[in-house]
Amino acid sequence: MTATAAEQPAAIDPDRLPRHIAIIMDGNGRWAQQRGLPRIEGHRHGVKSVRRITEECARLGVEQLTLYCLSSENWRRPQAELSFLMHLLEQYMIEERALLMRERIRVGMIGRREGIPDSTLAEFDRTVEICGDNDGLRLCLAVNYGARAEIVEAARRLAEEAQAGRLAPAAIDEETFAAQLDTAGMPDPDLLIRTAGEMRVSNFLLWQISYAELWVTDAAWPDFDESHLAAAIASYAARDRRFGGLSPK
């Protein structure tokens, strides 16, 4: 579903709030190019959107926010842009610690650590440690993440367990499989938001979004703000989620 911020509600019913919101943050580069700026300026402004949306989700009482920061396919981009993205992530981990602690936000990461600079990983791990006892919103960053690779790795681990005789193939069910994914222990997304108008999920949480409600806006990520988030949540709250069954109405 495509939408605009004009659909925003006056208030959000806390009883209809999605438990887990996942966002494909798209359009940073195009946002910059439309303004005659280098692509990296779009990423720089995109960090401001991360800050305000994270803070707003914490204020609303959302349980988890998962942000698609860098896909495993994004390594095909120019090295200068990738280096800048890693620098931004490292800087974010340092500069946002005060906000994360004030809002009692926990931090985690899904995706492969290979290829991410050691200094970036060190600051990320330090922030995870600092925020480890927080009991508020869980902020999950998908970095060097690809859902197909995640599913293949889960299948490989289960196959190894079965081959070693520690797991009967007949015992493998959805719960067993989900426990091998990067997102083990996390609730599945209720609402998937994509910015910049693209109508695809781009190898993001393919297993986990099986029953997520989709909401797409033409706004590029640097322009995405609290009003867009409110519109997405209002659209979600108005939907009849049947999960393959019939509506109780």
Q: What is the pLDDT of residues 12-34, one digit of tens each?
A: 778 889 999 999 999 999 999 99
In this prediction, residue 202 carries a pLDDT of 97
pLDDT for 6 equals: 45
Residues 6 or more apart in contact with residue 187 via CB below 8 angstroms: 19, 20, 63, 64
**How confident is the model at residue 74, as a pLDDT?**
84
For the chain, the domains span: 21-147+191-224
pLDDT for the residue numbered 1: 52
- pLDDT digits over 92-130, tens only? 999 999 999 999 999 999 999 999 999 999 999 999 999
pLDDT score recorded for residue 249: 57
| 188 in catalytic set | no
Classify 193 in phi/psi space as left (phi over 0), alpha (psi -120 to 50) or beta: beta
Question: Which residue among the candidates 13, 15, 28, 74 is catalytic per the annotation?
Answer: 74
- The CA distance from 67 to 96, in Å, is 15
The CATH number given to 21-147+191-224 is 3.40.1180.10
> Can you read off the two tokens belonging to residue 177?
């499989």
Say how far apart CA 138 and CA 18 lie, in whole Å.
13
Residue 248 pLDDT: 58
Kindly report whether the global pTM for this prediction surpasses the value 0.85.
yes
Terminal Cα distance for the chain, rounded: 23
Cα–Cα distance for residue pair 26/219, rounded to 1 Å: 9
209 and 201 Cβ atoms separated by less than 8 Å:
yes
To the query of whether residue 74 is one of the catalytic residues in this protein, the response is yes
pLDDT at 130: 97
- Please work out, in degrees rounded to the nearest 5, the angle formed at the alpha carbon of residue 132 by the alpha carbons of 130 and 136: 110
Of 26, 28, 144, 182, the catalytic one is 26
- 3-state SS, one letter per residue, for 157-222: HHHHHHHCCCCCHHHCCHHHHHCCCCCCCCCCCCEEEECCCCCCCCCCCCCCCCCCEEEEECCCHH
For residue 8, the model assigns a pLDDT of 45
The 3 state secondary structure assigned to 42-86 is HHHHHHHHHHHHHHHHHHHCCCEEEEEEEEHHHHHCCHHHHHHHH
Spans of the chain, pLDDT less than 70: 1-11, 243-249
